[in-house]
Amino acid sequence: MISDFQLALVGLAVVVVVAVIIYNRWQESKYKKRAEQAFGTSHPDVLIDDVSASSAPLVAATRRQPSQSINERVEPRLGLSLPALAADDADDLTPIGDSHSYPTNVEKAASPVHYSSAPVLQAEVDSIALILADAPLGVAQYENVISQSKLLGKGVRWEGLQAGLWQPITLPAIDAYRELRVGMQLADRRGPIDVMALNQFSDMVAQYAASVGAVSQREEVSAAILRAQSVDAFCADTDIEIAVNVIGKSGVTFAVTKVRGLAESNGFMALDSGEYVMRDEQGRVLYTLRNFDPAEPPGIKRTTGYLSGLTFALDVPHTPDATRTFERMFMVVMKIADVLQGEVVDDNRKVLTAAGRKVIADTITAITAQMEAKGVPAGSATALRLYA
């Protein structure tokens, strides 16, 4: 038999749950209306209207410039314990593409753990060489060259053909392959690969193929160099971070303890640097929360102190569905700004208007479309290593 007291407790619990649901929906509606009101077009937009260069705001926080020299980066030399055989003229063929195509949308996770069986080489950003043997090559015939090829840098990756599909090879390996392919990444955020490394890569493939009685197809170094420069220019042109800031009105500062509490209650996770990141269900970083003041450490995970402002940053090439992610980030920015009684501004401390927000969204959309057309979707595994 249920007593009156127990019935009263059940009724109270139901009332509390309903109240929480109603409050959360009211809060969501409130911030959405505040965003529409605060970013209305009734006042001039410093991003769009005719303003002087000195007052023009900064929306794209960083854009990397293409490297000026192809030889800026020097890779370690390769020391293979193989016979010093000259490359056969028959080996120097035209660049090879993906003879076994695969959809690029399999590369959606930042962590290779989720896609350990997916191909990782990409003809757009790698110089790929193919090794063809008459009989399957056992582990003992290729593990040494794979291990030593890492001396050329972390941009060297190996795959083997298994049941008509290319699969990444990691050591220790267990499978035998009749066809192998190996790629060297042509560029990353440090710049393009250099001539020395590409020559060493080509020589390595030729020597290895000869040592196991196989033939190889390799991209000519001169062609690879030109592609490396092109990939670097593309990477620089699309390497953009979008940042919006929250600052206190009339110079008001924010207590670090309050900021930390807001960050954690809104789902941010702290990094060792003291910055906070928002991750998706696969663990990929969507956007970052850090200190607005460049003269101070970027971290906000301190025990005491005050901050003059906060920066919410979105690394476009690293972010899946970047345009939608930006809109979601912006709602979080508005929510935190409301609690802190701050205002949302660009890097010139100009209030960000609705038109300015649209410019940001359009910029993100244009960049991601450019990357998609290149075969390097934003947030894909290929994008994460190209923009590393």
Range of the domain at 306: 31-62+239-386
Q: Within a domain: residue 23?
A: no
Contact 274, 299 (CB under 8 A): yes
221 and 103 co-located in one domain: yes
Q: Are residues 230 and 145 in the same domain?
A: yes
One domain for residues 262 and 331: yes
Q: Hey, what amino acid is at 288?
A: T
Residues 216 and 256 occupy one common structural domain: no
Q: Which of 179, 205, 235 is the last residue of a domain?
A: 235
82: in domain: no
**Based on the domain organization, do 301 and 275 belong to the same domain?**
yes
Indicate whether 120 and 226 sit together in one domain. Answer: yes
- pLDDT tier for residue 12 given thresholds of 50, 70 and 90: low
Averaged over 151-172, what is the pLDDT?
93
Say yes or no: 378 and 253 in one domain. yes
Residue 72 has pLDDT above 70, yes or no: no
Q: Please enumerate in sequence order all residues whose Cβ is within 8 A of that of 52, keeping only pairs 6 or more positions apart, or say none.
A: none
d(CA 361, CA 349): 19
Instruction: Give yes or no for residue 316 having a pLDDT over 80.
Output: yes
Beta-carbon contacts of residue 330 (< 8 Å; ≥ 6 apart): 35, 244, 357
Of 181, 206, 235, the position where a domain reaches its end is 235
- Backbone φ and ψ of 225, nearest 5°: -60, -45
The model's pLDDT over 95-141, given as tens digits with 9 standing for 90+, comes to 322 322 222 232 333 333 333 445 689 999 999 999 999 999 999 99
User: Do 248 and 353 reside in the same domain of the chain?
Assistant: yes
- Judgement on whether residues 254 and 206 belong to the same structural domain of the protein: no
- Does residue 56 fall inside a structural domain? yes
State whether 252 and 300 are in the same domain: yes
Rounded Cα distance, 216 and 329, in Å: 48
CA of 17: how far to CAs of 12, 20, 55, 149, in Å?
9, 5, 49, 60
Q: What is the mean pLDDT of residues 154-182?
A: 94
In a domain, 7, yes or no: no
- Could you tell me the CATH number of the domain that includes residue 132? 3.30.1400
Give the ranges where 122-185 is alpha helix by DSSP (H): 139-149
**Residue 89's pLDDT is what?**
35
Q: Give the pLDDT confidence of 350-373 residue by residue, as tens digits.
A: 999 999 999 999 999 999 999 999
Q: Are residues 125 and 181 in the same domain?
A: yes
Are 338 and 276 within one domain? yes
